[in-house]
Structure 1
């Protein structure tokens, strides 16, 4: 039996679901030390899996929908930087955020939507230089705007499949506690995810 999207799939009400995918993070690392100068390292990639849950509420329009959504997730994305005896490591952790979804019906049973929101993600930066007896690590939570595009397809009268790509531009934060020294991290991430949503 064919499900008519405009009558049964996108409608006013709540929804919740889970999703998982692949995270590709491109990070700019800037090091500045008195008497040495500034060094910028671009392309420090933290790649890995990301997964989580979401919940929201949507309103049906004439030919589309508008929804607000909150999310919570975790990632195992990691990047390593090695130079001789030096080792640097960047790791992404827990993440949460909120956004709005603006969608429009497709021909047939489906809808395409745009996402705009704000995301907060925890990153851990560590450095080790055994030859100098130097080692430290610190965690900070970066925030930034998120934008993306996705497609929703019906699986049943109450379940939907969701495919989505989105990008987040995080703020730059200084990880150094040493006066006059800066260790600035500015991540940018792209995520492709797939999930399932239950409407209630």
Structure 2
């Protein structure tokens, strides 16, 4: 795990003391929008599940499925507690290469995953400046921008399938001033992708994506 994966959560905790003299955000019905930044852990790598020959006994496949992305959300509040939320994130980069111990690494493939999620959320009564919330719903994750190394013949004609599944979110809002708030959140998305080579199934991989991020929001 890299330090960048925990940076958004650390920033969220750092925001709280700075809001000690903030006023409480307005409740009731209305819209809320957020824009922020976070870290996505993309789970397993479908490319690494394909049988690929490596050049030496000491070589092995190595995947990087973590990335930092921008994200935004739009929520409609029915009352002080219940809301419907739409959330979208920038495409996260994934890559797989052959780690050659005594030479240069060999790129195998790269692609992006871009999630879009809809959740029903319950926002608890404020705890001072903090207002925690939880939610669950559905997401769709698009697999895009797939590129492969033609020299690795085992993945010639490879394709990856987009998918959908259940999602859950937990987080908290911190009041800053009238209407403005900071948010820290964690999201989990359950989905899988199928790798096909020339139309034939080569591997099915459970991705289980997680996201940790912070954002700045305004509630109208």
- TM-score computed with the length of structure 2 as normaliser: 0.70
User: Number of residue pairs matched?
Assistant: 186
| 2:42 pairs with 1:25 | yes
Is residue 144–residue 169 contact of structure 1 (8 Å, CA) maintained in 2?
Answer: yes
For the aligned residue pairs, the C-alpha RMSD in angstroms reads 3.1
Is residue 88–residue 127 contact of structure 1 (8 Å, CA) maintained in 2?
Answer: yes
Change (3 A) 1:183 1:88: farther
Distance in 2 between residues matched to 1:110 and 1:58, nearest whole Å: 17
After alignment, is 149-158 or 163-172 more displaced?
163-172
Q: 2:182 aligns with which of 142, 148, 161?
A: 161
| 2:72 pairs with 1:56 | no
Per the TM alignment, residue 2 of structure 1 is displaced from its structure 2 partner at its CA by 5.1
Q: 1:183 aligns with which of 192, 199, 203?
A: 203
1:37-186 aligned within 5 A: 44-61=63-80, 65-82=81-98, 87-124=107-144, 125-128=146-149, 130=151, 132=153, 135-179=156-200, 181-186=201-206
Per the TM alignment, residue 31 of structure 1 is displaced from its structure 2 partner at its CA by 3.6
Q: Helix, strand or coil for the counterpart of 2:42? A: strand
Per the TM alignment, residue 171 of structure 1 is displaced from its structure 2 partner at its CA by 2.8
Q: Helix, strand or coil for the counterpart of 2:197? A: coil
Structure number having the greater strand percentage: 1
Distance in 2 between residues matched to 1:81 and 1:122, nearest whole Å: 22
What is the match of residue 26 of structure 2?
Answer: 9
Distance in 2 between residues matched to 1:133 and 1:67, nearest whole Å: 47
Is residue 20–residue 50 contact of structure 1 (8 Å, CA) maintained in 2?
Answer: yes
Change (3 A) 1:120 1:9: same
Report Cα offsets for 1:76-110 as digits up to 9, x if no partner. 33232316686433432433221111121242122
Change (3 A) 1:2 1:194: closer
Structure number having the greater helix percentage: 2
Change (3 A) 1:132 1:90: closer
Change (3 A) 1:187 1:42: farther
After alignment, is 92-101 or 13-22 more displaced?
92-101
Is residue 165–residue 189 contact of structure 2 (8 Å, CA) maintained in 1?
Answer: yes
